[in-house]
Amino acid sequence: MSPSTSQALAIGLLSGAAMTVLATGLFSYWRPETKPEEPKHEEEMQSDIVDGVAGLIGNTPLMKIKSLSEATGCLILGKAEFLNPGGSSKDRVALNMIKTAEESGILKPHTGSTVFEGTVGSTGISIAMIARAKGYKAWIVMPDDQAVEKYQLLEKLGATVEKVRPCSIIDKKQFVNLARERASKFGEGEATGYFADQFENEANFQAHYTFTGPEIYRQTAGKIDALVLGAGTGGTLSGITCFLKEHVKNMKVFLADPQGSGLYNKVKYNVMYAPTEQEGNRRRHQVDTVVEGIGINRLTQNFDRGRRYIDDAFRVTDEEAIKMSRYLVREDGLFVGSSSAVNCVAAVRAAKQLGPGHIIVTLLNDSGQRHLTKFWSDEYLKAQDIYTELTPEETVLDFVK
């Protein structure tokens, strides 16, 4: 390359660079200044943003319980109610009872009004959470023999917790009766006391008839052969059953009942009696079981609403429930509470009765996290002479007969 050619190339490169800088500067000068995008207003935001804690309740997933389905040849589905923000299906009930009281003018937020309830734990936790979110206080009366973590959760949520000895519903000091009495004597000015009364309150039934039942119907596309559920207040069983029976006429309904509860005998023989209720036979709780949340020895209005639809009942022992809970962890990584374990035992029984190829739905009411000191405590269970170790070779068909 000649010197003149090299000189010309250098001049060309320098000229091009200068023009690029000049053009960039002019573009920057003439370009209108852009402002940061304004934040969106609430109405412009995505529709799946929910309104507070209450908006998190419901629409829980329906999961295939793989180990139970494979063992029985049926599709056994568990509705994951433990994913509600308060950790259980009782969130639905608590929310609807409080909303109903507001709509009827009984409760007004931020007036010092208090929601009273007698409960073994889960409903109280849900009430405490929702009451706090809506501007109320909560006063929870509980038997003093429940898992410790339930009392701890209630206290952390700001509820007043009153522990009483377990006794029959005919006793004025029974936890439900005491909650009713406390509510009736509470009130000053605008502050009122509201007794939620989950056992008899129709809002309990309506929460499941209006929401849980339709969710299950939608999730299964109406293809359900059997519903299997335990009952405490009876609102969950009756609400879901009454809705589904309107749409799935041939669906079977099975009650899952822990030992010592009278509901099994009421369904099977129309007699509310359990042998463990005989004088001197009761060992632990009112219904003589380590299972918490289901089982009762009286008929509630909520249970009676759907009782005519129950086709059969299964008695589930503590040993079966305990083994089922350990089995679900071992096989599925599923950590459930005591009532959920009872439901799963009964679901396997229903599958064996119906035979392979059927679709069976149950509820996973809560997780094992609020049952650590009782149902999930080996030390506690051994002290009750009911601990049964699940051997590595044992399958669900070995311990569910």
Cα gap 146→372, rounded to integer Å:
11
Nearest to 229 by CA among 295, 325, 308, 290: 295
Structure-token pair, residue 239: 């609400």
Q: Which residues in 230-342 belong to E strands, given as ranges?
A: 252-258, 312-316
**Does residue 90 carry a catalytic annotation?**
yes
Taken in order 8, 11, 17, 20, is the CA torsion positive or negative? negative
Structure-token pair, residue 22: 């000049």
For helices 90-103 and 122-134, give the axis angle rounded to 10 degrees: 50
Cα gap 151→370, rounded to integer Å:
10
Cα gap 304→238, rounded to integer Å:
8
Cα gap 342→291, rounded to integer Å:
8
Catalytic residue among 35, 40, 79, 90: 90
**Bridge partners, 77 (sequence order):** 64, 361
Residue at token pair 């390359």: 1
What residues contact 67, with CB distance under 8 A and at least 6 apart? 327, 328, 331, 332, 396
Residue at token pair 């406390």: 182
Burial of 144 (0-12, 13-18, 19+ CB in 10 A): exposed
What percent of the residues of the chain are helix, what percent strand, and what percent coil, each to the nearest 5? 45, 15, 40
Cα gap 400→295, rounded to integer Å:
19
Cα gap 300→45, rounded to integer Å:
44
DSSP H or E run through 140: strand 137-143
DSSP secondary structure code for residue 47 in this structure: T
Cα gap 174→164, rounded to integer Å:
8
What residues contact 61, with CB distance under 8 A and at least 6 apart? 79, 80, 83
For the annotated catalytic residues, the residue numbers are: 90
